[in-house]
Structure 1
Amino acid sequence: MFTCFISQIEPKDVSQALDDTHWIQAMQEELNQFERNKVWELVQRPIPRLEAIRILLAYSCFKNFKLYQMDKTSTRAWYDRLSSFLLQNGFIRGKVDTTLFVFEKGQDCLLVQIYVDDIIFGATNDSLCKKFSNLMQGEFEMSMMEELNFFLGLQIKQCQEGIYISQSKYTKELLKKFGIEEGRTVSTPMATNVKIDKDEKGKSVDESKYRGMIGSLLYLTASRPDILHVVCLCARFQSNPKESHMSLVKRIFRYVKGTIQYGLFYPKNENFSLKGYSD
Structure 2
Amino acid sequence: MFTRVVKALYGLHQAPRAWYETLANYLLGNGFKRGKIDQTLFIKKQKGDILLVQVYVDDIIFGSTNKDLCTGFEKLMKDKFQMSSMGELTFFLGLQVQQKEDGIFISQDKYVAEILKKFNYTDVKSASTPVDLEKPLVKDGDADDVDVHLYRSMIGSLMYLTASRPDIMFVVCACARFQVTLKTSHLLAVKRIFRYLKGKPTLGLWYSRDSPFELVAYTDSDYAGATQDRKSTTGGCQFLGNMLISWQYKKQTVVATSTTKAEYVAAASCYGQVLWIQNQLLDYGYNFMHTVINIDNNSTICIIENPAQHSKTKHIEIRHHFIRDCNAKMLIQMVKIYTDHNVADLLTKGFDAGRFQYLVSSIGMLNP
Q: Displacement of 1:138 after TM fit?
A: 0.8
**Residue type of the partner of 1:246?**
L
Q: Displacement of 1:245 after TM fit?
A: 0.5
SS at match of 1:146: coil
**Residue type of the partner of 2:59?**
D
Q: Displacement of 1:113 after TM fit?
A: 0.8
5 Å-filtered alignment, 1:113-124, equals: 113-124=54-65
SS at match of 2:20: helix
**Residue type of the partner of 2:19?**
W
1:223 equivalent in structure 2:
164
CA deviation map 1:169-194 (0-9, x unaligned): 11111011112112211111112233
Q: Is the 8 A contact 2:124 2:198 kept in 1?
A: no
5 Å-filtered alignment, 1:179-194, equals: 179-194=120-135
TM-score scaled to structure 2, two decimals?
Answer: 0.54
More strand by share: 2
The answer on 1:143 being equivalent to 2:84 is yes
CA deviation map 1:129-185 (0-9, x unaligned): 010011001110010350000111111001111000111111111011112112211
Q: Displacement of 1:92 after TM fit?
A: 1.6
Partners of 1:127 and 1:188 in 2: how far apart? Answer: 47
Partners of 1:96 and 1:245 in 2: how far apart? Answer: 40
Higher relative CO (Cα under 8 Å, sequence separation at least 6) belongs to 1
Partners of 2:88 and 2:67 in 1: how far apart? Answer: 12
Residues 1:255 and 1:136: Cα distance change in structure 2 (over 3 Å) = same
Q: Displacement of 1:210 after TM fit?
A: 1.1
The answer on 1:269 being equivalent to 2:210 is yes
Percent identical: 53
SS at match of 1:138: helix
Q: Displacement of 1:94 after TM fit?
A: 1.9
SS at match of 1:101: strand
**Residue type of the partner of 2:190?**
V
Q: Is the 8 A contact 2:132 2:192 kept in 1?
A: no
Q: Is the 8 A contact 1:207 1:240 kept in 2?
A: no
5 Å-filtered alignment, 1:50-199, equals: 77-144=18-85, 146-199=87-140
5 Å-filtered alignment, 1:229-240, equals: 229-240=170-181
Q: Is the 8 A contact 2:51 2:69 kept in 1?
A: yes
What is the aligned residue count?
208
Question: Which piece of structure 1 moves more, 113-122 or 198-207?
Answer: 198-207
Q: Is the 8 A contact 1:133 1:145 kept in 2?
A: no
Q: Displacement of 1:275 after TM fit?
A: 5.4
Partners of 2:138 and 2:19 in 1: how far apart? Answer: 46
SS at match of 1:147: coil
SS at match of 1:112: strand
Q: Which runs of 5+ in 2 are unaligned?
A: 1-12, 219-340, 346-368
Partners of 2:199 and 2:184 in 1: how far apart? Answer: 23
Partners of 1:81 and 1:166 in 2: how far apart? Answer: 33
**Residue type of the partner of 1:148?**
L
Partners of 2:16 and 2:41 in 1: how far apart? Answer: 19
Q: Which runs of 5+ in 1 are unaligned?
A: 1-42, 45-73
**Residue type of the partner of 1:183?**
V
Q: Displacement of 1:106 after TM fit?
A: 2.8
RMSD: 1.9
Partners of 2:184 and 2:90 in 1: how far apart? Answer: 39
Q: Is the 8 A contact 2:34 2:40 kept in 1?
A: yes
TM-score scaled to structure 1, two decimals?
Answer: 0.70
Residues 1:216 and 1:158: Cα distance change in structure 2 (over 3 Å) = same
The answer on 1:245 being equivalent to 2:216 is no
